[in-house]
Structure 1
Amino acid sequence: MAELDPPAQGALLSEPIAPADPAVWREWAERVHDAAARGACLRVRGGGSKDHLGDTTRGELLDTRDCQGIVAYEPSELVIRARAGTPLAEVETALAERGQHLAFEPPRFAFHADGSGAGAGAATLGGVVASGLSGPGRVSRGAVRDHVLGCTLMNGRAEVMRFGGAVMKNVAGFDLSRLMAGSMGTLGLLLEVTLKVMPQPVVSATMRFEMPQAEALAQVNQWAAQPLPLDASAWWDGLLVLRLRGARAAVASAVQRLYRERRGELLAPPVADAFWQGMRDQSDEFFQRARQAVAQAGGQGVALWRLSVPPTTAPLEVHGEQLIEWFGGQRWVCTPAPAAAVHALAARVGGHAQAVCSAQPLPCVDEAALSPVLLRLHRQVQRAFDPQGVFATGRLLPLSA
C-alpha cells in the first residue's frame, strides 16, 4: 500500500478567529505560532486529573482552564456546548438541574499518578473528550465519541477548525469531531465541545450474584442477548454485579426474573450508588489495591492494565487480580507480567491493552501492537492536523516511531 502524502494546508477547512471568540484564543494562537517557529512543543492540560495516563510528556504547559464556561445549553434539544476548560462538575450540575446527564459516565479521578489525592473537581470537559474514557454505562449507552456532536479545534498551524454541529444528522463522509475522543491532545488544542446529553434514568436497580469468573461471563452474555434493561456490569472476586435501568415496570419485572433464575441480592440504593461511583471513578477497592501494589513494587514491573476485548472472550490466562466490566468487554488486570506479554495477550483475543497505572509511564498506544498500515494512518492523521509536531508530546504514541 503506497503511503499517502500529507494533505495540503487547505485540505482541512479552517477559519480565522472571529471578533466574538474569546480573546485568549488569540494568545494561544500566538503561542502555537511561536512554538512551531522554534520547533518547540506545547503540552495541553486542564485540571490534571488524567496526568497518570500515557507516557511522560514533554513541552511547555498550555492550561485550558484559562477559557471556560457553558456557551449554550438546550435541554429540549438534548445538546450542550461549552469551552474545553469548563469544569466537568459545572457541566454536570447544570444538566442535573434539568434532569439530564452525560450518559457515558465520564470518570472524576480523585488521585494523582502516585496515588495521592488530586481533587474530584479537577476534570475539565476538554479532558473528558481528549481522554476518551467512559464509565460503567458505556456498554449500553455508547462511548464518549458517540456523544460528541461537534468541536472547535486549534491545529498545529494555529488555525481554528470547526467540525460537526449541534444536532444528530445523517451525513456523508467521516465525522472528524469524533477523532478528538481519545486523542490525548495530540491532534490540536480543543477550544469548544458540543455533546449530546440524555435524560436521567427513571428507575435504577442493582443486583449482586455469587459466581466464578467463567460462569459470570457466560451468564452476563446470555442475559445481555435477551430483552432485559441491563445497563452495566462488574465482576470481581467471585461477585457479579448488574445494574438495570429503564421504565419502572421493566426494571421491576427484570429484577423478579433474575432473582427467580439465579437468586442474588438486591442492593440498597445508597450502597449501589457508592459501588457504581467507585467503578466510574476507578476508586473502588480493586483499584485502590492495584495502585497500592504498583507503589509497593517500585520499579519491579507491576502495573494496572485495561484490556478491551470481545465480550465473549474466555477468562484471560494472566497472573494477577482481574476486574471485568462491560459484559466482559473491559478487563482490568493488575499483574507483574511484562508490557509486551500483556499486549500480546490482548492481541491474541482480538483486543488491545493500555497501561493505566505503572511505575514506568507507557504510551497510550503500543507501537508494536499496531499493524504497519494502522500505524501509518495514525501518523498521517497527526501530520494532517499538526505538521510541525507542536502537540506531539509522546503521550499517545512514542516520539521515536
Structure 2
Amino acid sequence: MSLDRDMSQDLLEQVNQALNLNTPLRIQGSNSKAMLGRPVVGELVDTRGHRGIVSYDPTELVLTARAGTPLQEIEAALFEAGQMLPCEPPHLGAGATLGGMVAAGLSGPRRPWAGSVRDYVLGTRVITGHGKLLRFGGEVMKNVAGYDVSRLMAGSFGCLGLLTEVSLKVLPRPRQCLSLRLPMDRHQALAELAEWGQQPLPISAACHDGEALYLRLEGGEGSVQSARQRLGGDVLDNPFWSDLREQRLAFFEGPEPLWRLSLPIATAELDLPGRQLIDWGGAQRWLKSNAPATAIRELAAKAGGHAIGYAQGEHSSAPLPAALMRYHHALKQQLDPQGLFNPGRLYPDL
C-alpha cells in the first residue's frame, strides 16, 4: 500500500486559518535538525503526511517530490537508477525529510567539490505568508522582488514559507569510489590539501581526525587508480564518510558542546581548547569544546569565517552584519509579512 499523499490543500487551509487568527506556526518534518536554531513557539505544522515522489525521469536528471518525503525513499529511488544527491545531505536522525533537507541547507563531505543543497534546487512550491500556494523556479516563475525564491528557501529553516514540493537536479553516481587513510599530523594534512587542490586529482572528500588524513577518490577507474598510486596510504573498507556525515564518529561523542566552524580553506590550525576535526578539505572544522562561545566566535571571525553551535539556542546561528540583516528583514516582509512561519528560529526578530 502506497503512503504517497498530496496534502497541499490541507496545509494551505491550516496556513490561512493561522493567518486569520494571527497564530504563529512551527513547521517541522521528522525534527531531526531540532538542535539547530532557536526554539519556536507556535502551532505545529507536520509535513510528513505530505509525501511521495511526484516525478522522476533518470534521463532528465531531475526529481520532484513532496516536502514530507523521507530522504531514504528518495535516495533509494536514485540509487536504483545509478544516481545520487551530489550534495550528500546528512539525515541526522531517522525519517529525515526532503523539506527538512532544503530548510536546513546542510551538505555532506562532498560539498566543496560538488556544491551545496542550494546549488541543486531547481524549483519549489511554497505556501507564502499571503496564504497562497505558489510555484517558483525556471518553469513558471523565477523570482519575486528580484529574489530567486527557490534557492533562498535552502537554509531558511522555514522562516520564509511552507515548502510543499521541491524539484532537484541529480547526478550519476561515480563509476569508481575509493577511500584512503594517510597517517600525518594536521599541519602536514592542511599543507598537502592546499597543494593537491591545485592539481587535477579526483578527490571528493577530505577529513583529518587528529591522527590521519582520510581521502575519498571518485571518478573513472583510470583516474582513481592513478591517484591512489600517487597518494599512497591504506585503503578503507568501512563506512567512514557516512559516519562522518551523520556524526557517528567517536569524535562526536562526549558531553562537550559541538561547534561547526566555516573557514577559508587554507586557514591554519586554530588555537582553541578541546578536540578538532577538519572536514571539507579544511573549509569546515568541527570543534568539541567547553570554551566560551564569544571566544570561539571571535577566533572564527578573525580567521575570516563564522561559528555555529549545534545546540538549540542563541549560538545556533552566526551573527549577521547590519546591512545583511536588512536584506533578511526585507525578504521576510515580502514573503511572510505577518511573521507567521517559524518566528525567531534563525534570529530573535526574524
Q: TM-score range by the shorter chain?
A: over 0.9
Counterpart check, 1:390 vs 2:340: yes
Q: Is the 8 A contact 1:311 1:329 kept in 2?
A: yes
Quote the Cα distance in structure 2 between the aligned partners of 1:327 and 1:155: 38
**Equivalent residue for 1:188?**
161
Counterpart check, 1:258 vs 2:231: yes
**Equivalent residue for 1:15?**
none
Q: Is the 8 A contact 1:234 1:323 kept in 2?
A: yes
**Equivalent residue for 2:90?**
107
Quote the Cα distance in structure 1 between the aligned partners of 2:280 and 2:139: 29
Please give the residue correspondences for 1:199-214 in structure 2 after superposition, counting only pairs within 5 Å: 199-214=172-187
**Equivalent residue for 1:378?**
328
Q: Is the 8 A contact 1:364 1:397 kept in 2?
A: no
Counterpart check, 1:62 vs 2:45: yes
CA deviation map 1:279-325 (0-9, x unaligned): 111111111x2xx314xxxxxxxx21101111001111111100111
Structure 1 residue 176, shift from structure 2 partner: 2.1
**Equivalent residue for 1:76?**
59
Residue among 47, 64, 71 paired with 1:88? 71
Counterpart check, 1:285 vs 2:250: yes
**Equivalent residue for 1:164?**
137
Structure 1 residue 158, shift from structure 2 partner: 1.2
Quote the Cα distance in structure 2 between the aligned partners of 1:165 and 1:79: 13
**In the superposition, relative to structure 1, how do residues 165 and 364 fare at CA in structure 2: closer, same or farther (>3 Å)?**
farther
**In the superposition, relative to structure 1, how do residues 182 and 255 fare at CA in structure 2: closer, same or farther (>3 Å)?**
same
**Equivalent residue for 1:3?**
none
Relative to the length of structure 1, the TM-score reads 0.82
Q: Count the aligned residue pairs.
A: 342
Structure 1 residue 23, shift from structure 2 partner: 6.4
Quote the Cα distance in structure 1 between the aligned partners of 2:49 and 2:315: 27
Structure 1 residue 34, shift from structure 2 partner: 2.4
Q: Is the 8 A contact 2:29 2:48 kept in 1?
A: yes
1:293 maps to a residue whose letter is P
2:201 maps to a residue whose letter is L
CA deviation map 1:152-175 (0-9, x unaligned): 1011111122111469x9xxx653
**Equivalent residue for 2:118?**
145
Residue among 278, 284, 287 paired with 1:324? 278
Structure 1 residue 364, shift from structure 2 partner: 3.5
Residue among 298, 304, 311 paired with 1:344? 298
Counterpart check, 1:361 vs 2:334: no
Structure 1 residue 371, shift from structure 2 partner: 1.2
Structure 1 residue 146, shift from structure 2 partner: 0.6
The DSSP-based 3-state class of the residue aligned with 1:374 is helix
Q: Is the 8 A contact 2:176 2:220 kept in 1?
A: yes
Q: Is the 8 A contact 2:309 2:317 kept in 1?
A: no
Structure 2: gaps of 5 or more residues: none
2:197 maps to a residue whose letter is A
Structure 1 residue 52, shift from structure 2 partner: 1.6
The DSSP-based 3-state class of the residue aligned with 2:297 is helix
Q: Is the 8 A contact 1:149 1:166 kept in 2?
A: no
Q: Is the 8 A contact 1:346 1:353 kept in 2?
A: yes
**Equivalent residue for 1:50?**
33
Quote the Cα distance in structure 1 between the aligned partners of 2:6 and 2:258: 41
1:265 maps to a residue whose letter is D
2:150 maps to a residue whose letter is S
The DSSP-based 3-state class of the residue aligned with 2:102 is helix
**Identity percentage over the alignment?**
48
Residue among 114, 122, 126 paired with 2:99? 126
**In the superposition, relative to structure 1, how do residues 174 and 385 fare at CA in structure 2: closer, same or farther (>3 Å)?**
closer
Q: Is the 8 A contact 1:155 1:189 kept in 2?
A: yes
Quote the Cα distance in structure 2 between the aligned partners of 1:24 and 1:253: 51
Q: Is the 8 A contact 1:186 1:393 kept in 2?
A: yes
Structure 1: gaps of 5 or more residues: 1-21, 111-119, 295-302
The DSSP-based 3-state class of the residue aligned with 2:7 is helix
Structure 1 residue 204, shift from structure 2 partner: 0.8
The DSSP-based 3-state class of the residue aligned with 2:160 is coil
Structure 1 residue 53, shift from structure 2 partner: 1.4
The DSSP-based 3-state class of the residue aligned with 2:48 is helix
The DSSP-based 3-state class of the residue aligned with 1:65 is coil
The DSSP-based 3-state class of the residue aligned with 1:133 is coil
